[in-house]
A and B are shown apart, each in its own frame.
Chain A
Amino acid sequence: MTAAKVVFDPFSEEFFNSPYDIYRRLREEAPVYYNEEYDFYALSRHEDVAAAYKDFETYSSAYGLDLATVRSDEPIPAKMIIIMDPPEHRQMRSLVNKVFTPRAIEALRPMVTATIDRFLSEVNPDQFDVVEDFAALFPVEVITQMLGVPEEYRQKVRQWVDISLHREPGQIDMSEEGMQAVGEQMGLYYQLIQERRANPQDDMFSRLIAAEVTREDGQKQKLDDFEIAGFATLLGGAGAETVTKLVGNAAVTFARFPDQWQKILDDRSKIPAAVEELLRYEAPNQYNVRRSMRDVELHGVTIPAGKPVFLLTGSANRDPEAFTDADKFDIERDRTEAQNLGFGYGVHSCLGAALARMESAIALGRLLDFMPRYEVIWEGCKRVAAQNVAGWTNVPVRVLR
């Protein structure tokens, strides 16, 4: 034995800063990794991660979506589709999924474009922060508008989400401050639900208020305030965080691979493929945590029932067994080689994928117009330290003329 055993600590500075070396060693040396310190398992190979996403009976979502919640080993009281298993999941998701189909999302293009333009028109080309001054601001505006949050509260939602997801190195559970942010957000949503009950509008709050579900006892029932607020918290959070990260990652990645930037400058029809490659190469969501519901035998290791299992999509998307030259950022790669797991896979696959794709593609197009040549001010870049989202909190750039 020469090399030290690979360690994957999802709360370490090392992981936040550079997960890909850790992923490679996991895939090669410990495809069913066990972390003794925190008592969890992790799957990192594309084949294994994809299979686990499909097998929701073995890998349950109902115990939570991060280590803190899953290891507490109690089903979560909160009502959110991301932490439900079928059949309940199927019914609840069907209440909102019509709003997010590619066709339905396409109808929002003018609103999304106007929102993006509004924020980009306010930045200073001599120096601005792609994340703080742009990518952090518009996605939350779009999703909260869809939900029906009044304008004056929309950026507040983003701040609450940031606080609740933030983790210091070594911190597993949500901070006191994070809990308070969640509380304030729920307070706002309860208030809005009351207002919409009295006075319905054309928004998602009103839709959810009108919706009916069949409960376990066969009775048809309306959603209660807690369930509606759960939806809003989830959709607001997911919609606020992820595209922000993707666009920040784009500014950094294209600065590192200027030949790829040149390709989309020359041919805008390659933008959608570039978005897909960004999702593969450096996805905003690096993993989800599930709970094993039975003993699982894999690669000579037994994952006992009742353990948190990390499904490392960020690693699967860099698996050379699945993708040729997996560590190469290539917007023209053959995308049919393997499933891109950036949006997950199966019953929990990203509900907002079409919206995320559209927002990202429009934002990239506008950045191509605004900064066809730019440089990143590297010393000002700062990575996100958070639960399962990867990216940058700051990416200062200068537009070159």
Chain B
Amino acid sequence: MTQKIVVDFGLCEANGVCMGILPEVFDLDDQDYLHVLQDEVTPEIEQQVKEAVRQCPRQAISIREE
């Protein structure tokens, strides 16, 4: 079973909080569109992804078990 990062783009308003926490994974382009560069939650980034989930003011990020 793997864990995947899921972003609700209807909720995302490009605040960039996630990018501040984990720029290797969350990348906001200059059109305010968020790109998830790696959607698998590996043990190395798990804590930071959870932090991004919690700190997103829009609650637009979640982790899905697959």
Contact = CB atoms under 8 A, between A and B. Distances in A.
B16 A349 contact: no
A97 B12 CA distance: 10
B64 to A, nearest CB: 17
A101 B59 CA distance: 16
Contacts of B44: none
B11 interface: yes
Nearest to B31: A103
Chain B interface category by residue count? 10 to 19
19 contacts: A54-B59, A94-B10, A101-B13, A101-B14, A101-B32, A102-B14, A336-B55, A339-B54, A339-B55, A339-B57, A346-B59, A347-B11, A349-B57, A349-B59, A350-B57, A351-B13, A353-B15, A353-B57, A354-B15
A235 to B, nearest CB: 15
A97 B32 CA distance: 11
Nearest to B14: A101
Chain A interface category by residue count? 20 to 34
Interface in B1-41: 10-11, 13-16, 28, 30, 32
A100 interface: yes
Nearest to A100: B13
Interface of A: 54, 90, 94, 97-98, 100-104, 336, 339, 343-347, 349-351, 353-354
A343 B57 contact: yes
A345 B51 contact: no
Q: What's the dominant secondary structure at chain A's contact region?
A: helix
Nearest to B8: A90
B32 A103 contact: yes
A304 B54 CA distance: 29
A399 to B, nearest CB: 36
A90 B13 CA distance: 11
Given A90-B10, A94-B10, A97-B13, A104 B32 contact: yes
Nearest to A91: B10
Given A336-B55, A347-B58, A349-B59, 12 more contacts: A54-B59, A97-B13, A98-B32, A100-B13, A101-B13, A102-B15, A336-B51, A343-B57, A344-B57, A347-B11, A353-B57, A354-B15
